[in-house]
Amino acid sequence: MLTAVLAMAPAMAMAIAGDGDYARIARRFASEEKFDGVVLVGQGRRIEYVEAFGVADAEHGRAMSADTRFETGSISKWIAAIVVMKLVDEKKLSLDAPISTYLPDYRADTGAKLTLRRLMSHSSGLPNQVQDARKNDEAVKSAELPLREAVRRYASGDLAFAPGEQWDYSHSNWILVKAVVERASGRRYEELVERILIRPLRLKDSGVFAGDSAAVENGAVGYASLAPAAQRKVSPVPAYMAMTGGYYTSAGDLLKLMDGVLDGPVLSAESRETLMATLMPEQHYALGGRVRSQEIAGKSYVFADEYGSNGAYRVLAKRALRDGRTVIVMNNTSFDHLRIGKLADELQAALYP
């Protein structure tokens, strides 16, 4: 079955918006690099080019399509930050209030020091206990826990440094953010994503998952390799880690979301500016994601630069804040992120001839 699917994959590639420079760049890359996934170029909400390459599910002979759904890895943190900023707009949260304001049963010493702003910028000092646990025990990866117990086990450690002093990428931050958000709003995180993003923006291929994202309808299955035989690569995401890596979407939906958040009505102007303000300059890190400057054709542009990976999945989304020109690349076969970045750079250069 796999051989047949691979043989027909190029013919099943799906393209929208012609055969111009974007198609030429993406098709050459897919052919030379044996790339499986989806490539999209857009401006604002408008898709200028999208094409799917290879297989979404080798075992069942399902080819990739433009609306195939991918788990987004750490882009989920940016999604979570958007939800938080909406709750700030609604006066349900403050970025700078001690988290003990919302979680009075959290340990008092660190609860008085930690804030959402520091947790969401990875400058809190909270150690990455959950990642250490996942590395040391495979069973932890798929074990579900009540959120309160996950906070106790993995997000209650002694601070490694005073909040704001350093940058340390810690998934445990987002377990604690999830607890704050759900306590303050009185709603489950999945419900908030639905209310704040999916319904208003009319996203049809997006949501929050738990476990193996391959179970999502029309989801891309993750592979360590496809040849000589398909080899699955699974990295489950328990529900308590939904903010760290539990969001799935399609390329078209991700374009709509970026437009709605960065140039649309989802957030107030003040919250949008806060979301994209770099707090840790050496890491280009704002709240839940990165903002980078890049020179193209002799001019400097500032991009929302979002990248996520988990298991076999790789998703890159770059949007110019000045004019909304966007490149999205999605992959399900453990592809080298540096080569994905090279493809994005080529497509960006074509956006600014």
User: Tens digits of per-residue pLDDT, 111-134?
Assistant: 999 999 999 999 999 999 999 999
Sign of CA dihedral 142, 148, 150, 153: negative
Task: Tell me: do 225 and 346 sit in the same domain.
Answer: yes
Task: Tell me: do 220 and 330 sit in the same domain.
Answer: yes
Compute CA 256 distance to the chain's CA centroid, rounded to the nearest angstrom. Answer: 14
Residue 180 belongs to domain with CATH number: 3.40.710.10
Task: Tell me: do 345 and 228 sit in the same domain.
Answer: yes
* CB contact set of 114 (below 8 Å; sequence gap of 6+): 98, 99, 124, 126, 159, 163, 176
Task: Tell me: do 65 and 154 sit in the same domain.
Answer: no
Task: Tell me: do 257 and 287 sit in the same domain.
Answer: yes
Task: Tell me: do 221 and 337 sit in the same domain.
Answer: yes
Task: Tell me: do 175 and 222 sit in the same domain.
Answer: no
* Long-range contacts of the stretch 283-288 (C-beta < 8 A, 24+): 283/122, 283/167, 285/121, 285/122, 285/167, 286/121, 287/78, 287/81, 287/84, 287/85, 287/117, 287/120, 287/121, 288/77, 288/78, 288/79, 288/80, 288/81, 288/82, 288/120
Task: Tell me: do 67 and 216 sit in the same domain.
Answer: yes
Task: Tell me: do 347 and 272 sit in the same domain.
Answer: yes
Q: Residues 222-250: pLDDT tens digits?
A: 999 999 999 999 999 999 999 999 999 99
Q: Residues 274-327: pLDDT tens digits?
A: 999 999 999 999 999 999 999 988 899 999 999 999 999 999 999 999 999 999
Supply the pLDDT for residue 230: 95
Supply the pLDDT for residue 18: 58
In a domain, 130, yes or no: yes
Domain count, the chain: 2
Find the domain containing 268 and state its range.
2-71+210-232+247-351
Task: Tell me: do 122 and 163 sit in the same domain.
Answer: yes
In a domain, 89, yes or no: yes
Task: Tell me: do 104 and 39 sit in the same domain.
Answer: no
Q: How confident is the model at residue 16 (pLDDT cuts 50, 70, 90)?
A: low
Task: Tell me: do 133 and 30 sit in the same domain.
Answer: no
